[in-house]
Amino acid sequence: MKRPYRWIEANPQVMMGKPVFKGTRIPVDLVLEKLAAGETVDQILESHPRLTPEAIQEALLFAAELVRGETAYILADTMS
């Protein structure tokens, strides 16, 4: 992790070090996938009442910081 997070932690003792929301076993990637699939923040909060809107917002920041500085490659369309 690039900076201290209020809502997210990666602890080797919890989910084998996978980033989760502090005090839960809810993986950050699960919430990101739900957002990508079109679920609303309210729907996610209903499914996971221990989360907060701020925690979900921090998950987006966490994802952005992970990909910042990563090299992106544009792949040619090989199907044509």
Report if residue 13 sits inside a domain: no
Report if residue 62 sits inside a domain: yes
Q: Check: CB of residue 44 under 8 Å from CB of residue 31.
A: yes
pLDDT of residue 1: 45
Report if residue 80 sits inside a domain: no
Which positions of the chain have pLDDT values less than 50? Answer: 1
Report if residue 64 sits inside a domain: yes
Report if residue 20 sits inside a domain: no
Domain count, the chain: 1
pLDDT of residue 16: 93
Report if residue 14 sits inside a domain: no
Residue 40: which domain range?
26-69
Q: Check: CB of residue 22 under 8 Å from CB of residue 8.
A: yes
Rounded CA separation 80/1 (Å): 40
